[in-house]
Structures are given as structure tokens and as C-alpha cells.
Amino acid sequence: MNNKPYLLTKEASRLLLPLTDLFATLQGKRVAIGLSGGVDSAMLAVCATELASQYKITLSFIHVHHGLMPEADEWVEECLTLAKLLDVPCFIERVKVDTSSGLGIEGAAREARYQAYYHFAKEQQVSHFLLAHHLNDQAETVLLRLLRGSGVLGMRGMLSHIQKKEISFYRPWLGVDRAVILKVAEGFTQQYQWKPVQDSSNMDSRYKRGAIRQYLSPYLNQFWPSWKQNLSRHARLMQEMQQLADDMAKIDFDGLDIKDNQHSFCLKAWRMLPPYRQSNVLRYWLSLFQLAMPSENRLKEWLKQLREVHQLGFDREVKLPHEGWVILIKKGRVIIVADQYSSVTFQK
């Protein structure tokens, strides 16, 4: 590092330390970094490259071309330039964002990006990804979810480690203020004359995060200087609360005569639980299949149906679709199956 003075600062140590701890657990693995070309992911790429050989980690970068911005092709070139500078292979995945999905532009782009990661992981046999989300991103996420009326699950914010489709995603910098990243980036730019890309949509007030950065953040910084740290702490507390809820849900779920590889449980036993634990179990059950949580209104409708239908399911057909799956009641059991298998008969 002696020939890289930008890595010898106290700010750089705050970036390298969480990566060092993480890489110690990933020794000898293949690891990919989601590289947008922006300052955050670029510095994650720089710091990870510095440590990779020490832990015998095979590193690669993946840039997802969303095709949403006129500058998208230029961003590809900047990512390739950085990858060449760091001597790390960079792969470009081009996606088509489904703007009619109902997720909004930001949500649809995120979904397309993860699909690209899954495709890349399968092709390159990579099962560990690093993402450059930081303290500011976490605070914005918690604030957005609070304004949306999210419960404990949503108020956990982003997790430092999540598992999706047998792929591990890590966010080692969730506790790092973006100002620290920018300081290290200044030194890197001075030494190598490489500048990160500027995505104008990040400050575009037509998008919710852009509106927070443009209008809310200046006031919050003025009157509540520690708002980002406080919201991040709140997220950690909510993570603990959710873990408690999950632990209780597992205890309750295990007492529901589980069958069919966790795809069905006894309706009568579920009805004996207090109402708040009934809903908790349903959320936990969905999480076992990595399904998104239903809206509050949808969950209320499910609870109504499950509480009112005849316990053997003979008085009416209950069919509750969700995320390409269907919840059914047959012979006194609540069953979840992929939509195309909803006519399958399960064991009694």
C-alpha cells in the first residue's frame, strides 16, 4: 500500500476493516462485485482488489447495463477502464427493465439487476456478491419504509448479508458514512485520474430517493445531524425484534403438524393460536419459500378467509394467489404450491 497513499488514511482503514473481516470468512472463494461505475461501487472494487490476493479470493466485476439513461454506454466504458486499471475481469450484463411491472422504475431496475446477477452467478460459478450500499443508503431505506408504513420486517432496512437463490449478497459498508468513501475516492482520482460516473437520477426529485437527497437531507442534517446513525441503529433494533418474531413463529409453526416438506400445515391447529401469532406464522411460512411479504390488506383478507372457512375446506374453495404461488385449503390443511401445481393432491 506504500505506493497508494489514498489507502493509508484513517478513512481508508474504515473501508478496509469490514472487508478484511468479511474476506477472512470467504478465503479461497470466487467473489463478484456489483460495479455501477459510481463512486461507491468503484471504491468497493478498489478496496476489495487490494485485499483479494491476501485471502486467495478470485475477484470479478459485473456491470449491469439497464439501458435507461443516455449515458449508459459511457458508464460501460468507465467500468471497463477501471477494471483494466485494477487488473480484474469485468463482465457486462445487458438487461431490459420491465417498466410495466408495477414496481416503479427503481424497483423494476433492481429486479432486472438481480436477475442479471443470478444469470452471471450460474455462468461464472460465483456464489458470493459484494454490494456497495452504505450508511446513507440504509438511512434513506429506513426513512422511505417508515413513510410507507412498513412493519418490523420492513423497518429492518437492508441486511448486511442475505441469501437469494443459493447466492450470498454482502453489504460490508452499511455502517460507513458516504463522506468516508468520497474522501478515499478523492485520493484515488488524484493518483490515477479516473473519475467515477455521475448518475443524474440519484438527485432527481421525481424519484423518492432523489427527493430525500434533494429536499429532506439538508434539513435533517441541519436539525438532526445524527439522523443517519440513529435510523441505522433503529434498523439494527428492528432486526433483533424480527429475529424474536421469527423464533416465536418457528416454535408455533413446528406445532402445526407440518407435512409435504413444509408446504402444508393443519388449519385447526393454526386457528388455536392467538390472532397476532396466526399472522406471524403466515409471514414466517412465506419466508421459508423466499416469497415477498403480502400487503397489510392482502394479509387481512387471507386471515379472514382462513378463519371463516369450514376447517375441512368443504364449504367453499379457497384459492389465494401470491407471487406465482397459491395458498389452498384441502382436507383440513393449508397448502402452498407453485401456481402450475395447484391441482396436486397432498397427503392427508
The pLDDT tens digits for 21-61 are: 999 999 999 999 999 999 999 999 999 999 999 999 999 99
The pLDDT tens digits for 304-331 are: 999 988 755 555 568 899 988 999 998 8
Say what the alpha-carbon torsion angle 26, 110, 226, 17 is, to the nearest 10 degrees.
20
Instruction: Please indicate if the annotation marks 101 as binding a ligand.
Output: no
Instruction: Please indicate if the annotation marks 39 as binding a ligand.
Output: yes
Instruction: Please indicate if the annotation marks 37 as binding a ligand.
Output: yes
The pLDDT tens digits for 103-155 are: 777 778 888 899 999 999 999 999 999 999 999 999 999 999 999 999 999 99
**pLDDT of 159 strictly over 90:** yes
Instruction: Please indicate if the annotation marks 36 as binding a ligand.
Output: yes
Taking residues 230-239, report their average pLDDT. 98
Instruction: Please indicate if the annotation marks 157 as binding a ligand.
Output: no
Instruction: Please indicate if the annotation marks 152 as binding a ligand.
Output: no
What is the pTM for the complete model shown?
Answer: 0.88
In the three-class reduction of DSSP (H, G, I as helix; E, B as strand; rest coil), residue 112 is classed as helix
The pLDDT tens digits for 197-212 are: 887 777 767 778 889 9
Instruction: Label residue 176 exposed, middle or buried (CB < 10 Å: 0-12, 13-18, 19+).
Output: buried
Domains, in order of start, for the chain: 5-223 (3.40.50.620), 255-341 (3.30.465.60)
DSSP for 27-70? Answer: TT-EEEEE--SSHHHHHHHHHHHHHHGGGT-EEEEEEEE---ST
Band (pLDDT 50/70/90 cuts) for residue 341 is low
The pLDDT tens digits for 109-123 are: 888 899 999 999 999
The pLDDT tens digits for 50-95 are: 999 999 999 999 999 987 777 888 999 999 999 999 999 999 999 8
